[in-house]
Structure 1
Amino acid sequence: MSKVLIVSDSHGLTEELNELKKRHQDVEKFIHCGDSELSKNDEAIDQFIVVRGNCDYESLFHNDEVIDFQGTKFLVTHGHLYNVKSTLMNLKYKAEEVNANIVCFGHSHLLGIEKIGNILFLNPGSLRLPRGRDERTYVVLNFTEQIVDLHVYDFDQGEIVQLRQSFQLHI
């Protein structure tokens, strides 16, 4: 089983990001969807693929990253350049353009999981300033063949079991 951890909008936190790496040593890929407010050489994000958010000043981060992970294509972006607080349509077009199976984004600080067509859209919420719920959330995806098991975690309390979901990917 392969695992990917997705986090966003940590806004300067470093201890929490280091703690995630300790807690989830079995994760093969760490993704940060922007607004880390850290420099590229900060040890807290040294294992993360990081994109640039609207509050990031590090010019070495890209606005988008396309990652191929064991046959699954991820589009990672912060979301502010796609107007994600109003619509996922712009992000959907970009995902189709790059043939992404999973889109990871942040910006709104709202935990959200939605499948549109064959594309899974995933906003892990925020570690620093969650909106819509009290928990400081992040997500771990477990991959087995073409099935993705999604686990939502509250940084302080552990997995939120009732939010566990499985998705079939069409690769």
Structure 2
Amino acid sequence: MKIVVMSDSHGDKETVKAVSALSADATFHCGDSELSFDDSILQTMHRVRGNCDRDARFPASVVVEVEGKTVLVVHGHEHDVKHSLMRLYYYAKELGADVVLFGHSHLYGAEMKDGILFVNPGSTMQPRGRKVATYAIVEWDETVRVTFKNMSFETVDFMEIKKV
């Protein structure tokens, strides 16, 4: 499985267009696009509503299957992700998610907890903490790899977990 994940693009159509054009089994936007739900640039992406999105047609969460993995997508503001991943972890357990994608904090990161991969791709427009805008590529086969890339498509960070 290979997925591309972005979040918190805050109205910047150029980054959404560039990232959504990348080759993957599925592409995700974790909210705060600040675009209309039916904007043509979002049509190929699974997308959710962030706290800055005003179009009520965005769902609060999406659950899809990609190459046999159950992927849960939320923005994160409704799960208090800036303070802890516990609420999101329990929600993921209830839904049987293998992968959880979220944004909101504008900080990229990934971790595996009890076999569930949590990925925050950072922000493509307004990064915090680290000064670089990022998106993520998740590859899951015998190994789980999460690569964080900047808007020049260069790797800025990487995580790999070998399956036992």
Q: TM-score range by the shorter chain?
A: over 0.9
Cα deviations across residues 37-78 of structure 1 (Å, max 9, x unaligned)? 111111221211100000011111110111111111111000
| AA partner of residue 9 (structure 1) | D
1:49 aligns with 2:46: yes
- Cross-structure match for 2:18: 19
Give the counterpart of 1:84 among 81, 85, 101: 81
Q: Provide the C-alpha distance between the structure 2 equivalents of 1:132 and 1:156, rounded to a whole number of angstroms.
A: 19
Q: Provide the C-alpha distance between the structure 2 equivalents of 1:110 and 1:46, rounded to a whole number of angstroms.
A: 25
1:66 aligns with 2:63: yes
Cα deviations across residues 65-111 of structure 1 (Å, max 9, x unaligned)? 11111111111000000111111110000000000011100001011
- Cross-structure match for 1:123: 120
**Displacement after TM superposition at 1:169 (Å):** 6.1
Give the counterpart of 1:155 among 151, 160, 163: 151
Q: Provide the C-alpha distance between the structure 2 equivalents of 1:17 and 1:87, rounded to a whole number of angstroms.
A: 28
- Cross-structure match for 2:5: 6
Cα deviations across residues 131-169 of structure 1 (Å, max 9, x unaligned)? 11111100011232x432211101135122xx2222356
* Superposed structure 1 runs of 4+ greater than 3 Å apart: none
> SS at the partner of 1:142?
strand
Q: Provide the C-alpha distance between the structure 1 equivalents of 2:39 and 2:136, rounded to a whole number of angstroms.
A: 22
Q: How many residues align?
A: 164
> SS at the partner of 1:16?
helix
Q: Provide the C-alpha distance between the structure 1 equivalents of 2:65 and 2:114, rounded to a whole number of angstroms.
A: 20
Q: Percent of aligned pairs with the same residue?
A: 38
Cα deviations across residues 17-53 of structure 1 (Å, max 9, x unaligned)? 111233x1x2121100000011111122121110000
Q: Provide the C-alpha distance between the structure 2 equivalents of 1:165 and 1:70, rounded to a whole number of angstroms.
A: 21
| AA partner of residue 93 (structure 2) | E
| AA partner of residue 17 (structure 2) | N
Q: Provide the C-alpha distance between the structure 2 equivalents of 1:149 and 1:87, rounded to a whole number of angstroms.
A: 23
Q: Which runs of 5+ in 2 are unaligned?
A: none
Q: 2:110·2:146 contact (CA, 8 Å) conserved in 1?
A: no
Give the counterpart of 1:164 among 115, 139, 158: 158
- Cross-structure match for 1:134: 131
- Cross-structure match for 2:36: 39
